[in-house]
Amino acid sequence: MTGTEQRPCRVCAAPIAPFMTFGSMPIANGFLDEADIATEYRFELAPAFCESCATFQLYEQPSPARLFHDQYPFFSSSSQAMAAHFDAFAASVRRRLGARPALVVEIGSNDGTLLQHFNGDGCRGVGVEPAANVAAVARARGLETIEAFFGRALAESLRSQHGPADAIVAANVICHIPDVQDFAAGVAALLSDEGVLVFEDPYVGDMLAKRSYDQIYDEHVFMWSATSVANAIRPHGLELIDVEAQPTHGGSMRYVCGRAGRHPISAAVAALRQSEEAAGICSRTRYDQFRVECEAARDQFRSLLLSLREQGRTVAGYAATSKSTTLLNYCGIDRSLIAYIADTTPLKQGKVTPGSHIPVVSPDVFLADPPEFAVLFAWNHAAEVMAKQQAFTAGGGKWITFVPDVAILDASGGRDA
């Protein structure tokens, strides 16, 4: 990529160009068999920032059908902390809806971990999920699930079949939808007059503050802010009415949107927009600084692993996250530096990681023959993983983290001097 190419912003159509590149990247969730390495798909992972509407977005994205298919390996129920988070998310939406009967449509309902809370007590939940395998899990749990991508056409057919939705909810999904205008048009078509769209996604402000560049991968075509969300939905007669920061996925934001003029606007919206201005989230300069920070973090991580290899220490990884694909490929890490990655997801075990081709094994291997050092790729689930794997540190093992900076942790989770 030369840096001189331009294409229209996905939100406002102003010309944009990448501010950096992470290089050639495979599909982040594209865990593969060794036999398929030669034909692995790659694209250039390069983020862009639109100075007209302040939206952080990928310049190029593989087609969604390549990402969300019948072998999609991510199950919402794989983390206990996320399951608890979804309980609270559902309770907050239900409080907004009050006691009246309500139709709740979830976009990207995955295996039904959130949707299950909108079934019963006067609520009717309908899920929309394009990945066949996870949709089948939800259906087997008795949850009505339509196997499709959400957009205006689907929204219109949902409305004619079920009536207007009182709430549309989505968790870690809206940032995956490249045609954000078609999504917003769909929301405008489906929502009742007083209805609300409540969605949460990883927050660009946290990514910048924590230098968590591993959040940037094919599925995260956007990293939203309050400013960019407001700009994206405005053309569809929608406005941002509330925001609430969430600790999930390394720092997320929950956005509540409704038809313009129909709802009181919480003071939190203006406060967050002011803090975004102050933090430079709306200016290109901040993203140029981020690029420099990413380059330094890459060099640090690689040097640590090279020096451990030189010392003959054993190093493995824990949790084959989608995020780790960007980290491993950008930093040029392979199985000579990290012998294997343990992960609880059966679909990933026995495969190798995308691009870096490190074997994924069951956590039993990690327990039976622990390495001296383990990179904690699921840094956003650090508390849950470290609690589950206490035997590792009790036996002298050390965790390595890389967010907000590269460090070796002591047994209590603090940074070793």
How many residues sit close enough to ligand TMP to count as binding (CB under 6 A)? 16
- State the Cα–Cα distance between residues 92 and 106, nearest whole angstrom: 15
For residue 252, state whether it binds ligand TMP (rule: CB under 6 A): no
Residues in binding contact with Zn ion, number by CB under 5 A: 7
Residues 120-179 within binding reach of ligand TMP (CB under 6 A)? none
Residues in contact with 62: Cβ distance below 8 Å, sequence separation at least 6, in sequence order: 27, 41, 43, 218
Decide: is 77 part of the binding site for ligand TMP (CB under 6 A). Answer: no
Phi, psi at residue 278, to the nearest 5°? -65, -35
| Distance of closest approach, residue 370 Cβ to ligand TMP, in angstroms | 15
- Can you spell out the DSSP letters for 126-163? EEE---HHHHHHHHHTT--EE-S--SHHHHHHHHHHH-
What count of other Cβ atoms lies within 10 Å of the Cβ of residue 349?
A: 19
Q: Is 131 in the site for Zn ion (CB under 5 A)?
A: no
Residue 84 vs 306, nearer CB to ligand TMP: 84
8 is written with which tokens?
């229209």
The reply to whether 338 sits near ligand TMP by the rule CB under 6 A is no
Residue 207 touching ligand TMP (CB under 6 A) = no
Under rule CB under 5 A, residue 52 binds Zn ion: yes
- The interface partner of residue 385, options being ligand TMP, Zn ion, none and the CB cut-off 5 to 8 Å by kind, is ligand TMP
Bridge partners, 120 (sequence order): 123
Cβ(204)–Cβ(122) below 8 Å: no
Q: Is residue 6 part of the contact set for Zn ion (CB under 5 A)? A: no
- Does 326 help bind ligand TMP (rule: CB under 6 A)? no
User: What, of Zn ion, ligand TMP, none, does residue 319 touch, CB below 5 to 8 Å by kind?
Assistant: ligand TMP
| Nearest Cα to Cα of residue 20 among 221, 295, 332 | 295
Out of 381, 382, 393, 403, which residue is the one contacting ligand TMP (CB under 6 A)?
Answer: 381
Residue 384 binds what, of ligand TMP, Zn ion, none (CB under 5 to 8 Å, by partner type)? ligand TMP
Find which of Zn ion, ligand TMP, none residue 79 binds, CB within 5 to 8 Å per kind: ligand TMP
Contact 182, 151 (CB under 8 A): yes
CA pair distance 132, 70, nearest whole angstrom = 5
Nearest to 106 by CA among 16, 174, 19, 58: 174
Smallest Cα–Cα separation from 72: which of 127, 137, 8?
137
- Residue 345 engages ligand TMP in binding (rule: CB under 6 A): yes
Site residues (vs Zn ion, CB under 5 A): 9, 11-12, 14, 50, 52-53
Q: Which residues bind ligand TMP (CB under 6 A)?
A: 78-79, 319-323, 343-345, 378, 380-381, 384-385, 388
